[in-house]
């Protein structure tokens, strides 16, 4: 993106401040910055229009990648919830020797945690065995 050395208008400042508040640059902020860049370019040395098109295409690609990641995150959460629902009623054995029947499963940013009927919480991680109760 071409750097604008100084701007007279407040459009670029407003877009920059809005982006700084949210720590992300959305498509509208990008367009505001691009318009401010066009308004404040050197009339004797204007920016090539192919650069603008390239910037729009790059930003569009990044925006699509962000949207895809968001959808994949949601899909992963849905998958984890589906898997967690199949664990309820099964027996859990942790590497530390803790055993019990799974009453519920909590899913958060740190992973999945099984809550046993005894009230004990066991992180579902490597070494945890989950199976059908033996009668």
Band of the pLDDT at 2, cuts 50, 70, 90?
very low
Q: What's the pTM value of the predicted model, to 2 decimals?
A: 0.51
Q: What is the pLDDT of residues 12-62, one digit of tens each?
A: 455 455 545 556 667 778 778 878 887 888 778 777 778 878 877 888 888
SS (H, E, C) 31-68: HHHHHHHHHCCCCCCCCCHHHHHHHHHHHHHHHHHHHH
Q: What is the pLDDT of residues 98-109, one digit of tens each?
A: 999 999 999 888
Burial class of 23 by CB neighbour count within 10 A (0 to 12, 13 to 18, 19+): exposed
Average pLDDT, the chain: 80
101, 89 Cβ separation under 8 angstroms: yes
């Amino acid at each position: 993106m071409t750097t604008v050395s100084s701007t007279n208008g407040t459009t670029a400042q407003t877009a920059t401040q809005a982006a700084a508040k949210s720590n992300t640059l959305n498509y509208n902020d990008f367009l505001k910055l691009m318009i401010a860049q066009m308004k404040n370019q050197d009339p004797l040395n204007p920016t090539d229009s192919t650069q603008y098109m390239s910037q729009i295409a790059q930003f569009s690609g990044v925006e699509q990648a962000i949207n895809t990641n968001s959808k994949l995150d949601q899909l992963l959460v849905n998958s984890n919830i589906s898997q967690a629902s199949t664990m309820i009623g099964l027996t859990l054995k942790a590497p530390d020797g803790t055993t019990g029947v799974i009453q519920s499963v909590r899913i958060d940013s740190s992973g999945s945690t099984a809550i046993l009927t005894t009230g004990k919480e066991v992180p579902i991680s490597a070494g945890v065995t989950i199976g059908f109760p033996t009668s």
